[in-house]
Amino acid sequence: MNFKRIIIILAAILIVGIIFRLTIGKKAATSGGASWNRSGLSGRAIPVTAENVTEKDFRDISVFTGDIEPAYNISIPSRITARIEKIYKKPGDFVKAHELIANLEDKEQLNNLSEARASYELAKAQLREAQSNSENLGKELQRAETLFESGFMAEAQIEIIRTKHLTGLSSLELAKAQLAQREANLNTALLKKSYTNLYSPREGFVGDLNFDEGSIINQNTVFTTVVSIDSVICEINVSEKLIPRLKEGMAATAEISDRNQKKYFEGKIYSISPIVNKQSRTAAVQMMFNNPDYILKPGMFARISILLEQRNSVPAVPEKSLVEYKQVKGVFMVNGDSTVTFVPTEVGLSEDGYVEIVSEVKISKVVTEGQFMLSDGSKIILPDGDKKQEKGMKKNEG
């Protein structure tokens, strides 16, 4: 029993010793290794890659989506209730201004027009008769006045003639009023007759027809529409923060996919709504695009790009070269003695992985990889390709 206990105790001591040794060794390995910080391995040059500062063109573009609408979409309603007698145009046909599109049945209108014309002609005849009668009564009154002044006519007789003359004048005025009324009725009948012809108010393309030949169309019901697509409009909703940067006439581009190919159309901002929607915090902006080949169709979905700002030939660096060092944004500039200097920079426009930089210091080359291990003045090691390129540049400069 004592021998077994001794063996168990020795085994336990051995296991504890192994665990202790492993723990001490791990700490020693940790404390004895080189400590990494932002300066990299203490006192050693850090391998990095670098790129030259270039000059690039930058564009600040905002992208939106919207639906294509015609420049104008005019409804052509029927002014009367009638049967459609003949349709001369089909959807998609081009029509000129005041060109006939369809006829409505006009029997009732023709009857009313005939009656109005007959009444008008009768009123004209009555007016001529009233004028002739008034002229005769006027001459008779003149003769009576002469006889009365000469004492050959009694006062009672001349008063009768004067009354007849006044009655004749009244009849003349009545005839004139009746003629004006009959003329108005005739014009109304002519107008209603014109309602049986449906014309295009402006040139454009005929839209969908809502009725067929022979069907009844009610008053004020739309028969079709005429649209213009020589130019088209696209309306987008723009955030209130971006609205101050937009101006009428600013360039815009519409992009659509046609048979798996992208097509682009140039246009400009046509109007900017002065009202911001309280719920969406956006305002409506309309753009006009020329459409000479009629490729853009109303109802199409389009991707709209607006060029807000453009800068040409400005200093640019890869976006990945930007770092924040001591709470300041900037880049690590490569010096000729294989060291780096941190240069604070202001950042401008960005595009395709590059960013515009503004700095008081002229920068020729910046670190693009390994910069997060650097500090101001750190030593660096460049790849062989970069070294050869630097030597070639120095030789050319010499």
Exposed/middle/buried for residue 40 (C-beta within 10 Å: 0-12, 13-18, 19+): buried
CATH of the domain at 193: 1.20.120
Residues 266 and 343 placed together within one structural domain of the fold: no
Provide the residue range defining the domain that includes 341.
Answer: 40-56+313-397
Task: Decide if 9 is inside a domain.
Answer: no
Q: Taking the CB of residue 109, how many other CB atoms lie within 10 A of it?
A: 20
Which H/E stretch holds residue 317?
strand 301-318
pLDDT the model gives residue 113:
93
Residues 297 and 329 placed together within one structural domain of the fold: no
Domain boundary pick from 149, 183, 199? 199
- Tell me which of 140-149, 345-354, 376-385 is least confident: 376-385
Residues 300 and 330 placed together within one structural domain of the fold: no
Domain boundary pick from 199, 221, 251? 199
pTM value is: 0.58
Which H/E stretch holds residue 45?
none
Of the candidates 361, 363, 371, 368, which has an alpha carbon nearest to the alpha carbon of residue 386? 368
User: How many domains is the chain partitioned into structurally?
Assistant: 3
Q: What is the pLDDT of residues 157-216, one digit of tens each?
A: 889 988 999 998 999 999 999 999 999 999 999 999 999 999 999 999 999 999 999 999
Domain boundary pick from 273, 292, 311? 311
Residues 294 and 322 placed together within one structural domain of the fold: no
Q: What is the pLDDT of residues 258-295, one digit of tens each?
A: 777 888 999 999 999 999 999 999 999 999 999 988 89
CATH of the domain at 373: 2.40.420.20
Residue 308 Cα distances to 241, 252, 319, angstroms: 13, 9, 21
Residues 177 and 280 placed together within one structural domain of the fold: no
Q: What is the pLDDT of residues 299-309, one digit of tens each?
A: 999 999 998 88
Task: Decide if 52 is inside a domain.
Answer: yes
Residues 322 and 348 placed together within one structural domain of the fold: yes
Residues 257 and 234 placed together within one structural domain of the fold: yes
